[in-house]
Amino acid sequence: MPKAVISSFDFADYLANSKNLIEAALDDSLGPENPELLRDAMRYSLLAGGKRLRPILCLAACELACGDSEKAMPTAVALEMIHTMSLIHDDLPSMDNDDLRRGRPTNHKVYGDAIAILAGDALLTRAFEMVAIRTSDVPADRLLMVVGELSLAAGAPGLVGGQVVDLESEGKEVDLDTLEYIHLHKTGALLRACLICGALIGGAKQDLLDALDVYAKGIGLAFQIIDDILDVTASSEVLGKTAGKDLIADKTTYPKLIGLEKSKERANELVQAAKDALNPWKEKSAPLLALADYITNRDR
């Protein structure tokens, strides 16, 4: 009775348990770095809360591939480190110039620009250390593939490339194709890496990797559409970051291009397509199905 199994899946419980495990692993991942100032700046942003969506996706994909998610935890931590680094750098005055992140002053507001850049650099390089040095019991060829996926997602073909096109587009008329390019690179590439890396560690075969690729594209774009919507509809207090920034920076967003209602419809369609890709995995995909819904229903 697959239906009964799906309905018995307790998403709130799953989310809370996953977050607890991830918070503990993040805390463990930063050793007694020296100098102390660098350690404090790294911890300040990495342990500042956040939804922890990326590590949760990584662990869920590992489990969907029938792997032991404990073995994927260092990679899950690495993904949150890369994400946190990108937030620190994105908030800098030379980028998005923001004062508030995860409900507290941004890293450079507390530690200054130079230390914020270096804390980001240290988190980015620690991410690769987590995979290459702090992972046990995963075949070396799989870990090498994970390193490759992380490099592609963080570098010019992913985050950095998306950020550059985003910066170049400020104050310009941008069409839907360019907007999708920005979102799929700036946000989607890392979300995709979370799923692919988790699945690789779990021993996934090509059919699951292909399905996760489709799922990732859907949730990646939907995630960013919802981000655009929340920028207009939610408060800074709830978001934990400055609301209304896109309007102030005259950024092209989904609501600006196609309106709020159509943006919501598009996000829902994308999430449905993402979920459909996992149909062959039936009830085993319950966590990823629920995570896809969480992305469109979130309020921050």
**Binding-site ranges for ligand GRG (CB under 6 A):** 50-51, 53, 86-87, 89-90, 95, 102, 124, 154, 159-160, 163, 186-187, 227
Q: Which is nearer to ligand GRG, 26 or 154 (CB)?
A: 154
Nearest distance, CB of residue 12 and ligand GRG, angstroms? 17
The closest of 177, 64, 48 to 101, measured between CA atoms, is: 48
Q: Which is nearer to ligand GRG, 6 or 92 (CB)?
A: 92
Q: What are phi and psi of 237, to 5 degrees?
A: -60, -50
The closest of 108, 93, 138 to 41, measured between CA atoms, is: 108
Determine the Cα–Cα distance for residues 119 and 84; give it in Å rounded to an integer. Answer: 10
Nearest distance, CB of residue 180 and ligand GRG, angstroms? 14
Q: Which is nearer to ligand GRG, 50 or 218 (CB)?
A: 50
Nearest distance, CB of residue 286 and ligand GRG, angstroms? 21
Q: Which is nearer to ligand GRG, 67 or 198 (CB)?
A: 198
Nearest distance, CB of residue 68 and ligand GRG, angstroms? 25
Contact assessment for residue 178 and residue 162, using Cβ atoms and an 8 Å cutoff: no
Q: What amino acid occupies position 86?
A: S
Inter-CA distances, 196 with 40, 60, 151, 166, Å: 31, 11, 13, 25
List of long-range contacts for 275-279, beta carbons under 8 Å, 24+ apart? 275/215, 275/218, 277/211, 277/212, 277/214, 277/215, 277/218, 278/64, 278/211, 278/215
Q: Which residues pair with 101 in a beta bridge?
A: 104
Nearest distance, CB of residue 70 and ligand GRG, angstroms? 22
Nearest distance, CB of residue 1 and ligand GRG, angstroms? 35
Q: Which residue is nearest to ligand GRG (CB)?
A: 50
Q: Which is nearer to ligand GRG, 84 or 135 (CB)?
A: 84
Nearest distance, CB of residue 219 and ligand GRG, angstroms? 12
Q: Which is nearer to ligand GRG, 138 or 221 (CB)?
A: 221
Handedness of CA 27, 295, 229, 78 (dihedral sign): positive
Q: Which is nearer to ligand GRG, 128 or 281 (CB)?
A: 128
DSSP character at residue 96: T
Inter-CA distances, 160 with 121, 157, 167, 187, Å: 13, 7, 11, 10
